[in-house]
A and B are shown apart, each in its own frame.
Chain A
Amino acid sequence: MKSLCRTHNEHQRVIRLLYLVLFLVLLRPVPCSASEPVDFYFYFPDSSQVNLSHLKREMDRFLSQAGLSARFQPFAHKIDFDNTLKSSRPALVFLPEWYYRCHGRELGLIPLLTPLRQGRPDYTKLLLVRKNAPWRLADFSGRTVAMTTMGSDSGETMNRPLFNGKKVDLLKNHIVNISKDADAFFAVALGHVDAALVGRDTLSTVGKLDTKLVEMLEPLIESNPIPMPLLCMVAGRLDPANIELVKKIFMAQNGGSPSPAIMEMLHIDGWQTLSN
């Protein structure tokens, strides 16, 4: 009887061990091998490039020429990016720095690189009003401001970098979120909102197309520097060879000539590695 029990227990132990091995096999991180395409998501609402099919075409061309097999997927709306990022874990993600601060840990994001614009890893936004607007910074409280979304309460996130040390509290304003910078620009030009918070980059792009439109507006204040977006990998989704390849591909653009179309499209002129 005792030996039967022991045999039974041993069998149970073996079965448990097999289950454990199976469980660990199923749960192990699945790094993408060099041959299979890696999923690469992109979300940056402050970009003046809103033509996502052009962006995809240029990024696909750039990555394939550089030898990285990738499925590049840009997102226009935060809700789609949120849902897709949570449900299907990609290998690479290009996202705003504030998004990384809010969700980086829960999503297992590891920053690899940050782009540079005019040699800097940051950019600024301008608080624009119509030229004949009767309000100035001193009586700006209570005004409606259009800006790209930065989570559930843009004012709180943006208040620090924008007005730090400038005695203005964006939380006392009525923020209306939009999906792209250009919409905020048009809304203030036509008086649909009192002010728009837009990237300097968007102002320059619109200025190249329509100088009269830009002349209708004036900046009340320029923000303090806001970190550029981050190129992150998702923990366990990229093998070491591909991590090095990604870094090499983007870092090779520094000082290179001529810049690939994708870099010009995103107004990026270099990349910087990030130490973790």
Chain B
Amino acid sequence: MAGKLFPIKILIGLTLILLFPSAVLAQQVAVLLSDTEQAYLRPVSAFSNEIGAEVRIYNLQGDIHRDPQLMDRLLASRPGLIFALGAKAAYAAKLWTQQHQEIPVIFAMVFNWQKYNLINGQDNMAGIASEVAPGIQFLNLSMLVPTARRIGIIYSPEHSKEIVVQAREAAAMLNLELREHQISSPEEFKSAYRQLSGQVDSFWLLNDPFTYTVGNMDWMKDRCIKDRLVCVGQGSNLAEIGMMLSVLPDIDNIGTQAASMARNIMQRGQLPKDIRVMEPLGTRILLNQRTAERIGVPLSAQALGMATEVVE
């Protein structure tokens, strides 16, 4: 009996596919890449592995106008969601879905995403920020060095105003004290450091173009050791060159987090406008043990166990 019904079931299935193609294809997901950047490979791989839906990859090859048919091909595949990596892909995904806001978009790996106006005016846009939140950096700092309660920040308002506002909020939440010093050129950095160093027991280094120069970092790593100050920042090379702590986003986890957000939207009905831009939740913690010893910070076995990598 079951065998006799089998062809009928197939016929019904095919009829449904022909009548309601969008219902079947809705579970396809489009990944839109800005270019062939190697850094996108692992997040895309993690995303594809965890999403549980067919993934089609589209590549802007560095230029939104390079392939005029790309938008049509992507939209014709009727994706249930677009995962856009990089600023160009995020911008293109927003532009292309202006008239198709039923297609949710999750963007990631967009440095300084606020600059691109990605979420304003479109309810289908959500994303993951590219930098670790100041609060996560401070939590790691205070967990590994509980005595570091006064944190110095040198920044240019032109480049880092928003992130400093976030830092103030996080510091207030964690009962930490921020000592700020504004600069308007990279040359002012050393003088700012000298003025602040006597008032703080740690420094938080921003990805600010006036602060984060090769010359400034090279100079500061020696000064921090000499002045026995803990330095925390986002660049992976900071711990490698001799600063005590780097807290940076776990790039692999960006794909995993995006897949979770996509499932919440596609399967559990969460709206992108209710998510908006999440912090990158996965972190890599690099700890320079030699610097910790030189500046007199004792590290317990538990502290060393919490670090993803220890530079010895």
Contacts and interface: CB of A to CB of B under 8 A. Distances in A.
Interface string B287-306: 00000000000001111111
Contacts of B256: 77-79, 149, 177-179
| Interface majority SS (helix, strand, loop, mixed), chain B | helix
Nearest to B305: A49
Contacts of B310: 51, 53-54
A209 interface: yes
A191 B281 CA distance: 11
Contacts of A191: 173
A79 B302 contact: no
B306 A50 contact: yes
A172 B136 CA distance: 28
Interface string B263-307: 110001010000000110111010000000000000011111111
Given A82-B49, A176-B257, A183 B283 contact: yes
B307 A51 contact: yes
B139 A79 contact: no
Nearest to B283: A183
Nearest to A265: B305
A39 to B, nearest CB: 22
A189 interface: yes
B46 interface: yes
Given A189-B139, A210-B143, A174 B306 contact: no
B51 A175 contact: no
19 contacts: A48-B305, A50-B305, A51-B305, A54-B304, A54-B310, A78-B256, A82-B49, A152-B50, A176-B261, A177-B260, A183-B250, A186-B135, A192-B281, A208-B302, A209-B143, A209-B303, A212-B142, A213-B139, A213-B142
Interface of B: 42, 45-46, 49-52, 133, 135-136, 139-140, 142-144, 146, 170, 173-175, 250, 252-253, 255-257, 259-261, 263-264, 268, 270, 278-279, 281-283, 285, 300-310
Interface of A: 48-54, 76-80, 82, 144, 146, 149, 152-154, 171-172, 174-180, 182-184, 186-187, 189-193, 205-206, 208-210, 212-213, 264-265
